[in-house]
Structure formats: C-alpha cells, structure tokens
C-alpha cells in the first residue's frame, strides 16, 4: 500500500495534500485526494515536490484548485476551457464571474503626481494579446496601429503589458481633443531621454533608486509643462 503523504503544513514548505483536502472539503462536496491528483495530472496545478517526492501546495496552488472546482461546479466548464482560463490568468488577466478572464478595464492610478512607490504598480506584469489590449484600453484598431507605428505602444515579445493599456487609453483621450499619435512623439522622445539619464545614474537594472528618480522626473516634467502654460 502506498504510504500516505503528510498533511502537516509549514510556513515555508507549503501544505501537504491532506491539508489541502481538508481546506477544499469545507467548500466543495465530493472532492477527494484522487480528484486533486487527477487535476495535477491534467496540468491544472503543479505543486512543488520534496526530496522524498511528497507534494507541497502553495497558497497559489490552492487558489488554482478553488478556481477549477468552482468553474466545474457553478459553470459546468470542461477542463479544456478551464485550462485556457488559467493560462490567461497566468498572463495577468483577472477572473470573471462568468466567461473567460478579461484584461482589467482600468489600472491603479494615483491622484496627482506619482511617488516612487507607485512606479511598477501599473500592471506591467500583464501579458495581453492585441485584442485584449484594445478591449482594456477602449481604442480602435486604427489608433493602436498609429501608436505602434510611432513607437508609443510597443509589444514585449508577443504580448503587451499594463503600461501599454495606460498609454493607449491616454492617447485615446488626446484624440478626443484632435491630438493624433504623430503629435505625441515628442512625449516618447522626452521619455527616452529621461529614461536614458536615469539609466546613466542607476545602471541598467531597475532598483529602488530607479523608481525614486523616475518619480522625480515625472514631477519635474509636469512642473515644467505647467510653468509654460498661460497663467
């Protein structure tokens, strides 16, 4: 008979499969260890393994199991669709109550000028397709084409990040005033120069000092623009 896996959990090691079962049984009737192992075999969850081969489930693993079991129970979704949903969520899309995960319609924005701690908080970890970017930013394909042609929106590999959403949304608002993407190239040029100056000081790796200097650059840029407007 196979030796049962330990159910004890530790703060660093994660939960054993027995502890995970106890958590899930309180929410889902009929869930068993065999069911959890089956979902692992199907690639829906990939817990770490100890040197002895025991499964150790992280909090993220448990959340994935909850998502799978909820989708099966409440939406009657097949595993193939659920797997697609999980892959989308791994790209930073948020779960939807019904249907597949979607890109956030808005990203965190701080009133006024950003502080250093706000940099990196705008969803740069997102990995959106072109259609997902358009839907999240609320822009037409023609505008997005122009933004890419002028280097204002840039794909990272085959995907776009959260900064691309903000740039596209702001460009859409500029377009409402008759300002086209070609007119916005001066912002890109200024940003390139400011980023280059910061990199000269901090080096190519992004650090806390990089965030602080970036916040200062944005504040200075805003102050200079404001100082040149009619009183």
pLDDT exceeds 50 at position 6: no
Considering the entire predicted model, what is its pTM? 0.60
Query: What is the CATH classification number for the domain harbouring 77?
Result: 1.10.1660.10
Note the pLDDT of residue 119.
59
Supply the Cα-derived Rg of the chain in whole angstroms. Answer: 23
Structural domain range at position 30: 17-90
**pLDDT tens readout for residues 174-216:** 999 999 999 999 999 999 999 999 999 999 888 889 989 998 9
Give me the phi and psi of 10, to 5 degrees please. Answer: -130, 160
CA atoms within 13 A on the CB side of 98: 0
Q: Which of 16-20, 73-77, 219-223 has the lowest mean pLDDT?
A: 73-77
Residue at which a domain ends, from 72, 90, 108:
90
Contact 171, 143 (CB under 8 A): yes
Q: Which of 73, 13, 64 is nearest to 43 (CA)?
A: 64
**pLDDT tens readout for residues 25-78:** 999 988 999 999 999 999 999 999 988 889 999 998 999 999 999 988 888 888
23 exposure class (CB count in 10 Å sphere: 0-12, 13-18, 19+): middle
**pLDDT tens readout for residues 92-137:** 777 665 566 666 655 545 445 556 555 555 555 778 889 888 888 8
Please tell me the distance from the alpha carbon of residue 36 to that of residue 57, in angstroms, as a whole number: 11
Residue 70 placed within a domain: yes
C-beta neighbour count of 114 within 10 angstroms: 18
Please tell me the distance from the alpha carbon of residue 211 to that of residue 206, in angstroms, as a whole number: 8
Residue 111 placed within a domain: no
Residue 145 placed within a domain: yes
More confident residue, 188 or 13: 188
| Segments in the chain forming alpha helices (H) | 17-25, 33-41, 59-75, 79-90, 130-137, 141-149, 162-175, 185-202, 208-227
Residue 179 placed within a domain: yes
Claim to verify: residue 142 and residue 197 sit in the same structural domain: yes
């Amino acid at each position: 008979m196979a030796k049962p896996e330990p159910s004890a959990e530790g703060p660093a090691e994660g939960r054993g499969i027995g502890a995970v079962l106890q958590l899930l049984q309180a929410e889902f009737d009929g869930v068993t260890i065999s069911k959890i192992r089956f979902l692992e075999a199907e690639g829906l969850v990939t817990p770490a393994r100890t040197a002895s081969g025991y499964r150790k489930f992280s909090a993220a693993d448990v959340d994935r199991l909850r998502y799978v079991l909820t989708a099966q129970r409440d939406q009657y979704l097949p595993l193939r669709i659920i797997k697609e949903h999980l892959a989308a969520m791994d790209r930073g899309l948020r779960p939807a109550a019904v249907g597949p995960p979607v890109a956030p319609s808005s990203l965190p924005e701080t009133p006024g000028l950003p502080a250093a701690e706000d940099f990196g908080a705008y969803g740069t970890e997102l990995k959106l397709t072109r259609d997902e970017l358009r839907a999240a930013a609320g822009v037409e394909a023609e505008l997005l084409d122009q933004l890419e042609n002028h280097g204002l929106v840039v794909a990272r590999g085959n995907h776009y990040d959260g900064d691309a959403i903000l740039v596209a949304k702001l460009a859409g608002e500029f377009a409402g005033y008759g300002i086209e993407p070609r007119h916005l190239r001066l912002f890109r040029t200024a940003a390139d120069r400011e980023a280059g100056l910061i990199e000269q000081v901090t080096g190519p790796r992004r650090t806390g000092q990089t965030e602080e200097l970036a916040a200062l650059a944005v504040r200075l840029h805003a102050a200079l623009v404001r100082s040149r407007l009619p009183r």
